[in-house]
Structure 1
């Protein structure tokens, strides 16, 4: 297994700290007051996920459904992370391209609806999204593939702690000692919120992988969007993994720098498959994981698939 430490990085990695009971780093807490005071509009659409659960995938689907036909220049010139701002993030850099303030970007979006994304657990989300009865699309991915994908992402991203080797990371992830905290708390927290807030559409990465067209149809129904079969075919084709991996506006390659993301270590879009965990978990790790999972996932109504 590849060691997670990137010895060539000139930028000190961030340190985890406890933030209101959740493990976080400065890049996602720096702008806390402005984030909490964010003024959502009734037609805003929030995409909420735990990291590496298909955030960019669903953001691109929504962007194409709403603006793919009318804002074509935007599609080819503005990266997805600026079209769909990441409200949690605030970083400053001498390199202007790397400066990022998610709140400012969201406030300055010219589109309607505004598409906004977050990795925050449900209790951290600005209250105005709920007060304005905004539609929220939550995407969840099975925890084994999430862990593997997150491990490789943390090897290459420079704004989060180094993951260490796979064995160490495996245990830290189980303990929730990673940025944005416990996967279990995140997916369960949003699942429980869905029971009292009807405007959450809870999607699964595995369902989207299995039948993208079907899941886009469900998404459109939730959003009240009427799209032609031709547009749906176009969107389905454009959001396939290989197409997105080769698209500079969706693959994050514009952030390829030793200060932000080191693509020499790993691409932002690596495999996008269901079941890649089997290439990483040992038999002993899998047994330990399954026992831990039984202890933490008590709600029988929330079910995940680790293979399709």
Structure 2
């Protein structure tokens, strides 16, 4: 049995094999996922499922009981979730203190209904799921949501590096060109970024009373103090200008990367392959995509992306100011 087959067997019970979608390309590079409500998702390891079925676990999220003061960070992968989560925890606590937990301990699609309800207050959750898969009470209770976005080319590069270093069977073994094809299509975990954004736009428009603050990764890099103040204001906090500056400084990318390496409690499951540079914080730069795309590849990406996003109104920053 190959190591790849062995890794698959670690998460593929007979019942799960029946629902698994093979998203691998002709070279055998890609993902084994399950599909739920029009979206491909990673098949969680048995330790997370605890004998349950992946689809049932994700469905359970819809029924989770929320508290009126809960907060949710919503984003496609690699768009700044970790960063924003750390900022918000400092603002809410009123102290410059890093969280020892990793944000996966508050990630809705990792902890499901039971885990969501077990988290003590104050609670800042995060998710890569679309609004339609989140607890019904998000809309019913008008839970404050933060939606953070990043330019798609940098998001693509970051996601590629993230998945390349992940532990089998969740890692990606193809090259960057192959990954870009998957990123622009639906054939990857959490689907395409374009579909995520369009779904978010449509689903929030259908819930006009839902309080949402839209943020951009690039703005947080270029104007960190202003963005921290915007977050504090949206949360209804009375943070001083000096404290917002202190938070922005403490949550600089360089410091956050060091904290991730030296302070964070390791999650129960192994995330990164041995011998890789596996980290949630790689470069964090605006415009790193230029080091990965050829001119022709960039133009092709733009053509496909712009066609999908025509008239959507989304505008991104692709280079530092």
The two structures have a TM-score, normalised by structure 1, of 0.83
Cα distance in structure 2, aligned partners of 1:253 and 1:155: 22
Structure 1 residue 41, shift from structure 2 partner: 1.5
- Please identify, of 235-244 and 197-206, the stretch whose mean Cα deviation from structure 2 is larger: 197-206
Instruction: Find out whether 1:260 has 2:260 as its counterpart.
Output: no
Q: Secondary structure at the match of 2:145?
A: strand
Instruction: Find out whether 1:138 has 2:142 as its counterpart.
Output: no
1:123 aligns with 132
**Cα distance 1:263–1:188, how it changes in 2: closer, same or farther (>3 A)?**
farther
Conserved? CA contact 1:60–1:239, under 8 Å: yes
Higher relative contact order (CA 8 A, sep 6+): 1
Cα distance in structure 2, aligned partners of 1:43 and 1:251: 28
Q: Secondary structure at the match of 1:31?
A: helix
| Per-residue CA distance 1:154-182 (angstroms, 9 max, x = gap) | 01223635251112111111112111001
1:64 aligns with 90
Conserved? CA contact 2:75–2:148, under 8 Å: yes
- Please identify, of 25-34 and 119-128, the stretch whose mean Cα deviation from structure 2 is larger: 25-34
Which of the numbers 201, 205, 227 marks the counterpart of 1:191? 201
Cα distance in structure 2, aligned partners of 1:18 and 1:256: 25
Structure 1 unmatched ranges of 5 or more: 1-6, 90-100
Structure 2 unmatched ranges of 5 or more: 12-30, 45-53
Conserved? CA contact 1:56–1:250, under 8 Å: no
1:98 aligns with none
- Please identify, of 8-17 and 42-51, the stretch whose mean Cα deviation from structure 2 is larger: 8-17
Conserved? CA contact 2:139–2:210, under 8 Å: no
Cα distance in structure 1, aligned partners of 2:164 and 2:268: 13
Q: Secondary structure at the match of 2:153?
A: helix
**Cα distance 1:55–1:79, how it changes in 2: closer, same or farther (>3 A)?**
same
Which of the numbers 174, 184, 189 marks the counterpart of 2:184? 174
1:18 aligns with 35
Structure 1 residue 34, shift from structure 2 partner: 2.3
| Count of paired positions | 284
Two-structure CA RMSD over aligned residues (Å): 2.6
Cα distance in structure 1, aligned partners of 2:147 and 2:186: 20
**Cα distance 1:289–1:242, how it changes in 2: closer, same or farther (>3 A)?**
same
**Cα distance 1:21–1:181, how it changes in 2: closer, same or farther (>3 A)?**
same
Conserved? CA contact 1:49–1:140, under 8 Å: yes
Cα distance in structure 2, aligned partners of 1:264 and 1:192: 42
Cα distance in structure 2, aligned partners of 1:224 and 1:191: 24
